[in-house]
Structure 1
Amino acid sequence: MSTMKIKKGDTVRVIAGTDKGSEGKVIAVNHKNNTVLVEGVNMITKHTKPSPANQQGGIVHQEGPIDASNVMFVSEGKVSRIGFKMDGDKKVRVAKATGKVID
């Protein structure tokens, strides 16, 4: 199984789908389904029952999952692919467009 190149906290731009062109921060990553949740993108409406946490219940707007192949990492305002490089004895992510180390 290949490594997931997008991580929680990364800024990404949507490159396909109805929200194409919008940017946001990654809230969560699901390695099993190869999906990501992006802040403010692919908003869905969910009807919830009253519960101890949410006394009122009602309609909730939340982010829906997007396939990881439909987002690209944003580095210095440019979309970029991500590669890996050995920095001494540590493996680090590198933005291909700028050549900068991400983490």
Structure 2
Amino acid sequence: MRGVVFVQHHGIPGFRYSMIEEVANVALFTPLGMLGVLALGAPRWWIVVLAGTAMSASVELAQGAFLPARVASGTDVAANGAGALLGATAAAVIAARTRRRGRIRS
């Protein structure tokens, strides 16, 4: 939190802790999306994104139900789903480019 206050005071007044949390939620699920596409294949990218979002929703529901100090957040679910989508997209693009380069060299 001190870091956020420091950044706000020294040039980025609109910078908030929630921004860090949102970026962290996206970053947390990006590798999951990438690994899922590598495991299932690019045509099944939507399954990976759906599974990542469902996993995030399950965690948020559990927090809301069993951890009174925590608050379930739809924003977290959306950010985690976006991270899974970002990772799945990146893996699909990398896989397509790798296949294309392999065909050209053959």
**Bigger helix share:** 2
Higher relative contact order (Cα pairs below 8 Å, separated by 6+ residues): 2
**Bigger strand share:** 1
Mark yes or no: TM-score above 0.5: no
Structure 1 length-normalised TM: 0.26
Choose 1 or 2 for highest CA Rg: 2
